[in-house]
Structure formats: C-alpha cells, structure tokens
Structure 1
C-alpha cells in the first residue's frame, strides 16, 4: 500500500484532485506506535550537529459557511490589517512535525490529533510530544549520549507549562515569546541584618523597555544569507512569574520556579 504523499505525485492525482484528501477526512487514521515496528527503517531528518528537531502547531481548517458540525471550534486567524484578527468557525488540527534543514515542500508528520472543544491544548500537545519522542527512542532514532531532541513552538504555546508537562523527557523546548511579555530577573542576594521575608522574584524584565534589561550574558552577531546581520542577546535565569491562571488554573500544589537558562 502506497502512502498518501506518494499517491499525490501520480499523474492521476493532479493539483486540485481532492478525492485523496476527502478519503482521509472520512476514514479513521490510526496512529503508528513503536509496537507496530513502524519507523525503525525510516530515515529521520537531522539538523546541525545531528540533532533531531520537532515542531508543533495547530493550523485551522476554516468552515465559515458549513452547517454547524459536531465539535466545531472558533479558530483565531489574522486579517489583512495588522490588528484585524478574527475568530472563524473551523476544525483545527494539532500536529507534530519533524523539521529538516534546507528548503523543501514536504515534511514528516508522525502525529496529528483533532482537538475537541473541551480539550486542554497544552495537555493534548504534551501527550502528543511525549508519545512521538518515546516512539522515536524505541525506533532507534535517539540513543543515550545523543543531543537532546529540540521542540520548537510559536508564541501561542505556554512553553513553561509545556516544559512542566514534559519534565523527565529527553528533549529541550524552544518557543517564541510575545513581544509584550514581562519576565522576572533572579532575586537579589539577601542583605545582612534584614529579617523580612526574602522576595521570590527580582526586578521586572520588560521586553518593550530596554532600560529594564541588565547586561546580557551572551551577545552574538551572525551573517545570514537573506537578511544581513542577525544579532542575538541572551540572559541567564530569566523567569516568568507564574500564577494560577490560564494553563496553570488547575495546577495542584505550589507553582514551580521556572528559570530559563541561556
């Protein structure tokens, strides 16, 4: 049996031929697992240093004119103007993709789940990532001593919460942060002779106010092929101030002290 990607390259499946897509939508898609023996003979793309990189996302399939289907969600999309964001009915799909270096139109998607309205997006993504990483390890694509698998996400994910859900996994998370975020610096050293309760966090680190930034621990400048010089600054032990809201609303116990390294 040929996979759907190979079938789309056949002469009978020219651009615009949607029967294969409709068949996938109408039938169940069984998730592969290490128990099936699938994936052991596949070649996993590697980035610099032989490191495997996974990406997560939730692209919507908008259905604004369709009759109200079961478990339809409101999908956030951006309009033509900068501030013209909208919520349009649709059917989003949470996927995990394997990234590879270079320009290509294809990518391997080892897992995809259609979330329901009552599902927790972080819990769904965490379960997907844990299953995919464990599947890759069981298939022999990662062994002890190899560089950790990198997981990248956009600003729509709570990377701190996702890291907490995936604690103990052989992976590192890299996520974009909103430009208006406010972080916290490490708490200052305790002064001699002061008996008050020490603060849990240090001064504010506002992304939009460079005057709140201390001296960076690392500064690099790299030449890029398309965008000239790219400068990077990094600070050690910058942390978010977590509260029992959003994805941490149902967290049991004391909130963790999540310090971001360099």
Structure 2
C-alpha cells in the first residue's frame, strides 16, 4: 500500500510540474513576474485582500511596481493556456462521461468610471426576488464537475462578455471550441458517452442544443416554472386537407391538467432532500418565433424535441419551502435510470458556486482595482491557473488543519485547506523563473506639474430594447381582459 501511495504522489508531482512548465510557456510577456504573482496567490497567508500586498509574499521576488507592470503590460497566450487546461486529468461522472457546467459570474466595478466595456450585471439583493443591476465585467466560465459531494471543480475556460454579446451564442461558441480541444487532447474518443452540458434557467437550453447538434454533446438545463411547451404533432390522417400542423397540444408547467401521463416516474430517498420524486415527459419542444436570439434565423424555425423532468423534494437544507424544479434534456426516450441520473447530475451543478466563492473570497479574483479589461483578463487567467495547481496538488498536500477543524483524508480536503500547504510543495515542483534584475524606479511626474491628460471616462453599456434602424411601432391598445402570458 505504501508503494502504491508513493507512486500516486510521484505521478501527481510530475503532473503538477508539467502543468507549471506549460503555464510558464504561455506567459509571453513579463512571464517571470506573472508566474511569481500566481505563486504568491497560492502561498499567501490567508485570503488575498489586496493586490499590492502580494508583492510582500516571499515567493514574489519582484517589487510592487513590477507586479502592476506585469498585469498592465504583460501578455498571456490564452489559447495555449486553454489547451494546457484541457490536457490535465479531468473528473468524470459515474458512467465515465465528462459533465460540463456553464455559468456567468460578474466582477462588479460600480465606481470604475474610467474602465471601459462595463455592462449592467444582475445581482441579488437582500429582499425577496430583488434584482439590482450593478456595472461590472461578466465572465462566462466552464468547469468540469465531479460525481460525488465535493466543493472541487475543474475550470477549463473563462471568457469575458463584451457589450452586445448574446449569452447563448457566446456560450455555444465557447463550448464548441472547448469540445474540440478535449477531443484533440484525447479526453473524448469515439464510442465514449456524450459530454453533458449542465446550465441554469438563465440559458436557452433548446438553442444551445440546436447550436451544438453536430457535436457529441447533450444539454441539460433548468427551465422557468411558467414555461409552456408543445407536444409532438400527432400522425396525420389520410385525406386531411390543409397545411399539416407542426406543433401538438400545450404542456404548461403551471397547469397540471395539461401534463397527462408521465413516461417515467421514480421515487428516491435522499439524505439532504428527503423523498425525491422525478417524473418525465418525452418529446416536448418550445414553439419558437422570430424574436430574440432566433430573429436572425432564416426560413422555418426548427422543432427541437427533448425530455422534461419535474423534480419534487420533501425539504431543503436551508429550511425553505421546496418548489418543483423543471429540467429540459436534449435527449429523448429517457428511461427511469436516465431520469434519476439527470436530476442528480443537475444538483452537482451548484458546485460551481463553491468555485466562484473561492475565486472571490480566498484567491482575491475581484479585489484588484484594475482599470482595463485586458488586465482583468490576464488576472482571471492567473486565478484559473492557480486553482488548477491546487487541484493537481490534492494528493500531495498535508492536512494543516486548525485546532477546531476535524481531520480530513486527502480526497475530502477542500481547496482552501490544500492551499495552506502549497508553500511546502512549491520547492519540489518546477520553478522556471529567473532571478530578478536590479533596477530603480522611474522619475515619475515632476513636482508641481499637474496631470494635463486626464483619464477618459466611459459610460456603462446597456442593452437596447429596440433596433434603432427600425421605426418605432405604435403602442398596442390596452385589453380589458388579456390572456395569461405564456412563455414558449
């Protein structure tokens, strides 16, 4: 057993050293300063609260001027780093498939009036269902999920959304590039189960499935409880006149009398949620219109069929009243085993929230007051590379627990506890940076001379509700008794 454990440690150390070497090769400008900055994030005592304080960490041998110069003037080969992230060992589900979770997290910059390309980001207030728009930089992040209960994920890509970007289109392009990299890295081969993409209700799941239909990808996403889908069109009788219909009867999530008999129904006892009842209905699709993201679609809109799963649990860990969760899966003909597997995989999607919390509260992703979005992208890639090193160091880190914490085996240690012992592992891995060269600070602005070129200020970009090229339509007359709003 000891020889086997030593072999695992040697392999883990070799993999960690290999990734550190590839990470350093991707730092094409100010590479030594950027690499040591990432090491300072990993070896700092406690959470990262200030960017300049990282220059006082022993692993960062440059001064604070070189730190800021590296972030503002350095360069990173993002495509090369994406390939390096796709080549590291990835967690897989119980059936051997790779499960990818997509979500958007925001770097809020409400007072950064000199920072360009800020977008209004929706945040939750303390009130019930209170949404507050705050200016910031939204990032679309893709991670690979583990199968069991864990706070670990494997971040594979991060992309900042520019003003005017459609989230579904950008995410589909981002997923397409990632799947191609995974195939090139040998993570997926012909005959393996399809990759499963898990998303929340903010994504248009049928559109994602339509844009990725030529890839070995399945889409699983939550839908709002007010959605109305359509059933498959019934067989057309011979001799029927007129154009054949494309949609069947309505399936309204909020109207149980439209559901009919479910295709599958399972009951599972869980420790956290009590009894979980999952029912599924096969071959349901939304009725699409030439609006929103489908406005540029030419010709007849497609019929995208899938499986709808309704999950109802007895209780929630927070003590709140549980509400039913509606899921849409791009596959059809789901078996009871598929339905159970899908809703359990969807619950694992919330592990990405632990990763975002670690990025912001421990690794200090959003603490720097960076002005340009290009510098924010460089800092984001450093955080992803640092987290990947923590994940590769899981079998190597010692459990440096606090007196009030319980002992934990290596497979149950959290990312924050692995980070405590990374300083003791760093000298055993590859450290390709060179010694800093002596230098003197620049002269700066002469005393008494004012700044004659103030930094330009930028407005926050907001989404336009109407196309300025089209004439404004007349206001529709008010209806005294309108029909209930159905969202397809």
* TM, length-normalised to structure 1: 0.89
Q: In structure 2, what is the equivalent of residue 176 of structure 1?
A: 222
Distance in 2 (CA, whole Å) between partners of 1:102 and 1:35 is: 26
- Residue 78 of structure 2 is aligned with which of 27, 31, 46? 31
Check whether the contact 2:82–2:156 (CA below 8 A) recurs between aligned residues: no
Cα distance, 1:193 vs. partner? 4.2
Q: In structure 1, what is the equivalent of residue 48 of structure 2?
A: 16
Q: In structure 1, what is the equivalent of residue 320 of structure 2?
A: none
1:227-238 equivalent positions in 2, closer than 5 A:
227-238=273-284
Structure 2, gaps ≥5 residues long: 1-19, 24-36, 55-66, 307-331, 335-488
Distance in 2 (CA, whole Å) between partners of 1:175 and 1:7 is: 38
Distance in 2 (CA, whole Å) between partners of 1:214 and 1:66 is: 53
Q: In structure 2, what is the equivalent of residue 54 of structure 1?
A: 100
Distance in 2 (CA, whole Å) between partners of 1:9 and 1:228 is: 39
Secondary structure, aligned partner of 1:92: strand
Q: Deviations over 1:100-158 (max 9, x none)?
A: 12344442211111111022222211111111111111111111111111100011111
2:182 is equivalent to residue 132 of structure 1:
no
Give RMSD over aligned pairs.
Answer: 2.5
Secondary structure, aligned partner of 1:96: strand
Q: In structure 2, what is the equivalent of residue 245 of structure 1?
A: 291
Distance in 2 (CA, whole Å) between partners of 1:243 and 1:236 is: 22
Q: In structure 1, what is the equivalent of residue 378 of structure 2?
A: none
Distance in 2 (CA, whole Å) between partners of 1:192 and 1:36 is: 56
- Residue 164 of structure 1 is aligned with which of 210, 218, 225? 210
Check whether the contact 1:8–1:14 (CA below 8 A) recurs between aligned residues: no
Structure number having the greater helix percentage: 2
Check whether the contact 1:74–1:90 (CA below 8 A) recurs between aligned residues: yes
Q: In structure 1, what is the equivalent of residue 118 of structure 2?
A: 72
1:193-232 equivalent positions in 2, closer than 5 A:
193-232=239-278
The count of residues paired between Structure 1 and Structure 2 equals 259
2:90 is equivalent to residue 44 of structure 1:
yes
Secondary structure, aligned partner of 2:173: helix
- Residue 121 of structure 1 is aligned with which of 167, 188, 204? 167
Distance in 2 (CA, whole Å) between partners of 1:219 and 1:88 is: 42
